[in-house]
C-alpha cells in the first residue's frame, strides 16, 4: 500500500499559482486515502467553488501522487474551504510573510505567444501586438521569455539597458511607447549565450512573474521560446489562466510544427486562444501580393483546433525594418498592410477577453478586501537574477 506520508510529501510540490505556495502548506489537501490496490483518493479544498485553476490542481495532483511507489491510480475530488478555514489560510499567509507577491494580481489577461519553431515572427507579432493593444487604449506589458533567443529588447529600442529596482526590491519593467517590457536580455551581456536550464531557468521565470512590478495591466504578452520545452512548461505551471496564441506561417509543414505546440498547450491545460498566420504572402508597396509560403496553413490549424484565426499578417519590408530600428511598425505606420493586420488581431483579442484582473475573476463572490491576492505585500526576499 502506498504511504500517505510519501504522498503528502509529493503533493507538497503542487503549487497554488495564485497564492504561490504549496497546497499542502496552505492546508488545501483535505484528505489522502490510500488503498491496498494502489488507488489513492485525494480531496483538495479550493478557496472558491468555480476556481479556474481546478484543472491545474487536478493534473498536478495526479502527476505528483503517481511519483510515489505503489500508486496505480489517483482520484481527485474537490470541495471548498469553509469561511473559518479561509480566514485561517489568510492568517497563515499574513503571518508567515509568505503572501503572494501580487505581481500579477492586477493583470487581467496573460497571453503566451508561442510557435512550434523559431523564425516564424513570434517576437515581431508580440511586439506589434503590444503596440496595437496600447493604441487601443489598453495597458500592456511584454515579458520576453525567450531566454535563449531574446529579441524583444532590441525590437523596443531598449537594447543594453538595465531595469531599475524599487525601494521594495521589485524590478521595474522598462517602458517603450507605453509598453512595459521585461526581458532576460536586460540581465546578460548583449549577444552572450544564456545557458540556463532546469531549476535556474524555473527560478528566473518565477522571478519575472513574482519580483517584477507589472502593476495594472490589461494584457501581459509573453514571448515564448520556440518549441515545447522547459520554459513553456514552467510558465504553463505558473500561469494556468494564460491563453495561448499560436503563430504559424501558411506553409503546411509549419502548421504541422505549430500543431505540436498546440498539443503541448493542451497537455498542460493552457487554453488555446487562437491563431495568427504570419508571413502570409508578401505585400508589395503597390498592394500586389505573392504567396511566398503558400496559403491556408493558419486557417487549417484554426479549423482543426476549433479556435479563431485572428489574422493573416503579410510580409512587408517596413515590418522588418522597424523591428531592427527599435520601434514597432504599428506605432510608426499603422496603415502598412502588416500593421493593419496586427491591429485587427488586437481588436479580435480585445473582443474575446475579459478586462477584470485575474485575481478578481478568481473569487467574484468575495469582497476584494479579504482576498490575499489583492492585498499583497512585497516579499522581503533577495533577488538572484544576474544583476551586475
Ligand atoms: N510579417 C513580416 N514581414 C517582414 N518581416 C518579418 C515579418 N515577420 C517576421 N519578420 C522578420 O523575420 C525574422 C524573424 O522574425 P521574429 O519575429 O524574430 O521570429 P521568431 O520570434 O518567431 O523567431 C525577423 O528578421 C523579422 O524582422
Ligand atoms: Mg523570437
Is pTM beyond 0.85 here? no
Q: What is the pLDDT of residues 220-273, one digit of tens each?
A: 999 988 876 778 777 877 787 788 999 999 998 877 888 888 888 887 778 889
Query: What pLDDT is recorded for position 121?
Result: 95
Q: What is the pLDDT of residues 259-314, one digit of tens each?
A: 888 888 887 778 889 999 999 999 787 878 899 999 999 999 999 989 999 999 99
C-alpha cell at 243: 491563453
Query: What pLDDT is recorded for position 94?
Result: 57
Query: What pLDDT is recorded for position 281?
Result: 93
Question: For ligand 1, is residue 124 a contact (CB within 6 Å)?
Answer: yes
Ligand 1 atom 26: residue of nearest CA: 320
Ligand 1 atom 8: residue of nearest CA: 121
Query: What pLDDT is recorded for position 85?
Result: 85
How many angstroms is it from 123 CA to the middle of ligand 1? 7
Q: Which residues of the chain have pLDDT under 70?
A: 50, 93-103, 190-198, 228, 355-388
Query: What pLDDT is recorded for position 286?
Result: 84
Ligand 1 atom 16: residue of nearest CA: 121
Question: For ligand 1, is residue 129 a contact (CB within 6 Å)?
Answer: no
What domains, with CATH codes, occur in the chain? 4-95 (3.30.300.130), 107-358 (3.40.50.300)
Query: What pLDDT is recorded for position 355?
Result: 66
CA angle 353, 359, 362 (to 5 degrees): 80
Query: What pLDDT is recorded for position 195?
Result: 63
CB 207 within 8 A of CB 163: no
Query: What pLDDT is recorded for position 329?
Result: 98
Question: For ligand 1, is residue 312 a contact (CB within 6 Å)?
Answer: no
Q: Which atom of ligand 1 is nearest to the CA of 279?
A: 1
Amino acid at each position: 500500500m502506498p504511504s500517505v506520508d510519501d504522498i503528502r510529501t509529493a503533493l507538497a510540490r503542487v503549487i497554488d499559482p495564485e497564492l504561490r505556495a504549496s497546497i499542502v502548506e496552505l492546508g488545501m489537501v483535505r484528505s489522502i486515502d490510500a488503498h491496498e490496490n494502489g488507488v489513492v483518493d485525494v480531496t483538495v479544498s479550493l478557496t472558491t467553488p468555480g476556481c479556474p485553476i481546478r484543472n491545474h490542481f487536478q493534473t498536478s495532483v495526479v502527476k505528483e501522487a503517481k511519483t510515489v511507489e505503489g500508486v496505480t491510480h489517483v482520484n481527485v475530488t474537490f470541495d471548498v474551504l469553509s469561511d473559518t478555514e479561509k480566514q485561517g489560510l489568510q492568517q497563515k499567509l499574513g503571518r508567515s510573510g509568505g503572501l503572494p507577491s501580487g505581481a500579477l494580481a492586477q493583470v487581467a489577461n496573460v497571453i503566451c505567444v508561442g510557435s512550434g519553431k523559431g523564425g516564424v515572427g513570434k517576437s515581431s507579432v508580440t511586439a506589434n501586438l503590444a503596440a496595437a493593444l496600447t493604441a487601443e487604449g489598453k495597458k500592456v506589458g511584454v515579458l520576453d521569455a525567450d531566454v535563449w533567443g531574446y529579441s524583444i529588447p532590441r525590437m523596443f529600442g531598449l537594447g543594453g539597458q538595465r531595469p531599475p529596482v524599487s525601494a521594495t526590491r521589485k524590478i521595474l519593467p522598462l517602458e517603450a511607447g507605453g509598453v512595459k517590457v521585461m526581458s532576460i536580455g536586460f540581465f546578460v551581456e548583449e549577444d552572450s549565450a544564456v545557458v540556463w536550464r532546469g531549476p535556474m531557468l524555473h527560478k528566473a521565470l518565477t522571478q519575472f512573474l513574482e519580483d517584477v512590478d507589472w502593476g495594472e495591466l490589461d494584457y501581459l504578452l509573453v514571448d515564448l521560446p520556440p518549441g515545447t520545452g522547459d520554459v513553456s512548461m514552467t510558465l504553463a505551471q505558473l500561469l494556468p489562466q494564460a491563453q495561448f496564441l499560436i503563430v504559424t506561417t501558411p506553409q503546411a509543414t509549419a502548421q504541422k510544427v505549430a500543431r505540436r505546440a498546440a498539443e503541448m498547450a493542451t497537455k498542460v491545460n493552457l487554453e488555446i486562444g487562437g491563431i495568427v498566420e504570419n508571413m502570409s504572402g508578401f505585400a508589395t508597396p503597390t498592394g500586389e501580393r505573392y504567396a511566398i509560403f503558400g496559403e491556408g496553413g493558419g486557417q487549417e490549424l484554426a479549423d482543426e483546433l476549433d479556435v479563431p484565426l485572428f489574422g493573416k499578417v503579410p510580409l512587408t519590408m517596413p515590418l522588418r525594418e522597424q523591428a531592427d530600428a527599435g520601434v514597432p511598425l504599428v506605432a510608426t505606420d499603422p496603415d502598412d498592410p502588416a500593421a493593419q493586420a496586427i491591429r485587427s488581431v488586437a481588436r479580435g483579442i480585445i473582443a474575446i477577453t475579459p478586462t477584470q484582473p485575474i485575481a478578481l475573476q478568481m473569487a467574484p463572490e468575495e469582497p476584494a478586501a479579504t482576498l490575499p491576492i489583492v492585498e499583497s505585500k512585497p516579499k522581503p526576499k533577495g533577488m538572484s537574477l544576474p544583476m551586475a
